[in-house]
Amino acid sequence: MMSTLRNVALWFEQRLHLVKLWEQTAGHPVPKSTGSWFYTFGSMTLTCFVIQIATGIFLAMSYVPSAAEAYHSLELLNYTQPLGWVMRGMHYWGSTMMVIMMMCHMTQVFLWGAYKYPRELTWISGCILLVVTLGLAFSGQVMRFDADAYWGVGIGAAVGGRIPIIGDAVVHLLLGGPIIGTDALSRFFALHVFILPGSLLAFVSIHLRLVLSKGINEQPKPGVLVKRETYDQHYHGIIKREGVPFAGIIGKDVVANGILLLVIVALALFIGPKGPGIPANPPLVIPEAKPDYPFLWLFAAAALLPSGSEIFLFFIFPTIAGLLLFALPFISNEGEKHWRRRPVAIATVVLSYLGIGMLTYEAMVGPWSPHMDAWSGLPIKPEYLKGRTPVELQGAVVLQKMQCRNCHAIAGEGGHRGPDLAQVATRMTNPQLVRQVIQGGGNMPAYGKNLSPEETRALVAYLSSLHPPNVPPAREAVGPLKPIGESQPTPTPGKEVTVSQ
Amino acid sequence: MASSDPNEDSAHEMPKFDYRATRRDFMLKLGLGINAVAGALVGIPIIGFFVSSVVQKQGRTWVSLGSIDQFPEQATRMAVFINPYRNQADGDTAHIPCWVKRAAGETFKVFAINCTHLGCPVRWFEQSKLFLCPCHGGAFYEDGSHAAGPPPRGLYVYEHKVEKGELMIKAGVLPTLADPS
């Protein structure tokens, strides 16, 4: 019996050269120190990718890539197809995890100096994998063909249309036609299921091949510098001294990946898939088109940067950032690897995460987007109405009716595009308020044409009453001390406000 | 195969190969030539297919928004038309909204729904007479001009005409900064 098995094994071995394959891959020697929790993010990213392929193939069996059918097929997956919702959930959370794990992996290899000589190409192929993965995340969001996806494509086209000279061609190429329709969805489908996963497979192969041929980066020690002339010898020395077969140190990877899989399945089961949201029916003017997590920071930056900086945000900045990222191994090819002695590297990581993190947070709370229903859905609180004169109360009605609160909150309630009005009278005098309302400016529309003089007067009277009882309203720094004309209507309850003509 | 051990690399033990041997050389060159021609014949249609939406660009054409009577004077209303390049698989996305402002009589102005900042759909607020964009807070006046926020220009305007009591606009192309109208 044993000898038969042995013969069968030998028969395969003679044909497949498995021993050699094992020696070159799982058996290849790596520094013992690399058996570390910090070195598990790469394999976790790969595991996510495997999950994406597995679930993606099965989703493709039910998904219909047509603008007329896509939404319906997703609903069928969610509610009719047995376990369809689990499949969608795993695909969504797998993609979220893939981006997160990739960021962790990239941060780790950056802080550990793994991109330095001789692993330049490993880093560059990793950068390509980052770009492809983000491409998959964006195109995947389009597959969820709801209103967000539809307007997301619209935003993509609008960004493309901003490219000088070739903008128009880019838009038509992206949409596969003159306008957003089924051709655009089909383009993104081809990108999402053929072109990008194919590229990812190819570059993962190159990436892993490079990891094998150039070795896993040893745990750096502070003060041990990388030199082109001596590094290879140094690394071989490490392998000789403390080399172990790769298969011998993967315990932590296996544990981490197991936990990762459990997390993805748990998220899929307990939170479930995302969407689809409102159907992609353009006349249903949707309240807000927000992208998925990986792109929220871009969405926020587009709102927060000054008008006219879009060319910088969408083209110049990514080009410079991309060039720096790809050129990193050549900018810093030798020298210190340990993060403790690389303050610039630490600052880069901290600032990048703070920047992306804060922008993402801003995008989630959306303080700049108008609160489209505030005027009809958020009444002014009684304490901001109590004791006001009839004219002031009329002004409060104007404030509400004219949708002012879509952009202006009162004590935090309402839009945050403009300043909160709860204490506006302490900042602006009566004439300044009149000017601001009529002429606009400072990113506020002018209401001169849409407000009658009476409405303006009432509105400004109300705004002038918005100050705490113990803080006097703002007053002109120069001129007569006694209020003249329209300035300073008194907030005292019951007292009449005189408004001059 | 000289060696009987399969694990021994025997590939390097072949006699030296002369790549310049004339007949093989000719065959290789002929083969490369044939493949270059065939490659072009395969590749040109593929590339042509891919870029066809750019090369054979579909332009704007006249679309009816229906009778002008449905648009009250001095008011702004949403109108929805069917994309002239509708494909059967387009479904609901063939329904394109736009904002029609009828000033008086046959004086109209038709605005695209797409904000000039990043293409999000703008919404009309009758009371304050403003178009507001939900994405980044762009605002436009009743006449479509820029009022506030990040948009670089006023709303995109469709070319229009009134024919036999019907309001017609030239549409079918997504307005962008590269091709506003």
Cβ-defined contact of B176 to A157 (cutoff 8 Å): yes
Provide mean pLDDT across the span A138-149: 92
A287 in contact with B at a CB cutoff of 8 Å?
Answer: yes
Residues A42, A180, single domain; the answer is yes
Contacts of B26 (CB under 8 A, 6+ apart): none
Express the helix, strand and coil content of chain B in percent, nearest 5 each.
25, 35, 40
Q: Is A264 at the interface with chain B, CB within 8 A? A: no
Between CA A148 and CA A77 the distance in angstroms is: 19
pLDDT of residue A496: 44
Residue A10 lies in a domain: no
A307 touches chain B (CB under 8 A): yes
Q: Is B117 within 8 Å of A302 when comparing Cβ atoms?
A: yes
Pairwise CB contact (< 8 Å): B134 & A407: no
- Residues of chain B numbered 156-175 and touching chain A (CB < 8 Å): 172-174
The predicted structure's pLDDT at residue A500: 44
Q: Which residues of chain A make contact with B174, given a CB cutoff of 8 A?
A: 154, 157, 171, 175, 178-180
User: To probe the interface with B, which of A285, A312, A455 has the most B CB atoms within 10 Å?
Assistant: A285
b/e code A155-188 from CB counts within 10 Å (16+ = b): bbbbbbbbbeeebbbbbbbbbbbbbbbbbbbbbb
* CB contact (8 A) between residue B132 and residue A403: yes
- Residue B114's pLDDT band (boundaries 50, 70, 90)? very high
Task: Write out chain B residues lying below 8 Å of A303, CB-based.
Answer: 135-137, 150
Instruction: DSSP for B88-144, please give it.
Output: GGGGGGGEEEEEEEEEETTEEEEEESB-TTT-PBPEEETTTTEEE-TTT--EEETTS
Tokens at residue A332, please? 């810093």
- Asked which of A270, A289, A308 is the last residue of a domain, the reply is A289
Closest CA to B164 of B99, B106, B90: B106
Count of structural domains within chain A: 2
Give residue A501's pLDDT: 40
Of chain A residues 137-166, which have a CB less than 8 A from chain B? Answer: 150-151, 154-155, 157-163
CATH homologous superfamily of B61-171: Rieske [2Fe-2S] iron-sulphur domain (2.102.10.10)
- Boundary of a domain, candidates A246, A270, A289: A289
- A498 pLDDT band, cuts 50/70/90, is very low
Question: What does pLDDT average to over chain B?
Answer: 88
Is A364 a domain residue?
A: no
User: According to the model, what pLDDT value does residue A479 have?
Assistant: 61
Task: Give dist(CA A237, CA A253) in Å, integer.
Answer: 25
Task: Place B4 in a pLDDT band, splitting at 50, 70 and 90.
Answer: very low
Given a cut of 90, whether residue A322 has pLDDT beyond it is yes
- Rounded Cα distance between A407 and A153, Å, is 26
Beta-carbon neighbour count of residue B9 at 10 Å?
Answer: 11
The answer to whether residues A185 and A284 belong to one domain is yes
> What CATH number did the domain enclosing A272 receive?
1.20.810.10
> What's the pLDDT tens digit per position in A105-136?
999 999 999 999 999 999 999 999 999 999 99
**C-alpha closest to that of A181 among B98, B156, B173:** B173
Counting other chains too, the contacts that B158-165 makes at CB distance below 8 Å and 24 or more residues apart are B158/B98, B158/B110, B158/B111, B158/B112, B159/B60, B160/B108, B160/B109, B160/B110, B161/B62, B162/B68, B162/B106, B162/B108, B165/B67, B165/B68, B165/B69
Mean pLDDT in residue range A57-77: 95
Domain annotation covers residue A317: no
pLDDT tens digits for range A323-366: 999 999 999 999 999 999 999 999 999 999 999 999 999 888 76
Closest by alpha carbon to B6, among A5, A3, A26, A13? A13
Q: Please determine, for residue A448, whether its predicted confidence score (pLDDT) is greater than 50.
A: yes
- The domain containing residue A464 runs over which residues? 371-501
Work out the average pLDDT over A30-52. Answer: 95
What pLDDT is attached to residue A497? 44
Q: Are residues A191 and A284 in the same domain?
A: yes
Chain A nearest C-alpha distance from B135 (Å): 6
User: What's the length of chain A?
Assistant: 501
State which of A289, A320, A352 marks the end of a domain. Answer: A289
Residue numbers in A near B50 (CB within 8 A): 173
Q: Let me know if residue A339 belongs to a domain.
A: no
Of the two residues B108 and B18, the one the predictor is more confident about is B108
Q: What is the pLDDT of residue B1?
A: 39
The answer, for A481 touching chain B at a CB cutoff of 8 Å, is no
Summarize pLDDT for A169-212 with one digit per residue, the tens: 999 999 999 999 999 999 999 999 999 999 999 999 999 999 99
Using CA coordinates, name the residue in chain A closest to B60. A178
Which of B63, B170, B174, B181 to probe the A interface (max A CBs under 10 A)? B174
**Nearest 10 degrees: Cα torsion A377, A381, A387, A389:** -20
Task: Give 3-state DSSP helix, strand, coil % of chain A, rounded to 5.
Answer: 60, 5, 35
Q: Which two tokens stand for residue A194?
A: 């053929």
Question: Is the domain of A65 the same as that of A188?
Answer: yes
pLDDT tier for residue A499 given thresholds of 50, 70 and 90: very low
Which positions in chain B touch A171 (Cβ < 8 Å)? Answer: 174, 176, 178-179
Q: Band of the pLDDT at B150, cuts 50, 70, 90? A: confident
Using left for φ > 0, alpha for ψ between -120 and 50, and beta otherwise, residue A237 falls in alpha
**A148/A156 Cα distance (integer angstroms):** 12
Chain B environment of A407 (Cβ under 8 Å):
137
Identify the pLDDT of residue A480: 58
For A227-276, write each residue's pLDDT tens digit.
Answer: 999 999 999 999 999 899 999 899 999 999 999 999 999 999 999 999 89
The reply to whether A75 touches chain B by the CB within 8 Å rule is no
In a domain, A171, yes or no: yes
- When CB atoms are compared, the residue of A305, A306, A445 closest to B148 is A445
Buried b (16+ CB within 10 A) or exposed e, A442-452: ebbbbbeebbe
Confirm if B21 and B29 have CB atoms less than 8 A apart: no
CATH number at residue A454: 1.10.760.10
How far is the C-alpha of A39 from the C-alpha of A35, rounded, in Å?
7
Specify the pLDDT at position B8. 52
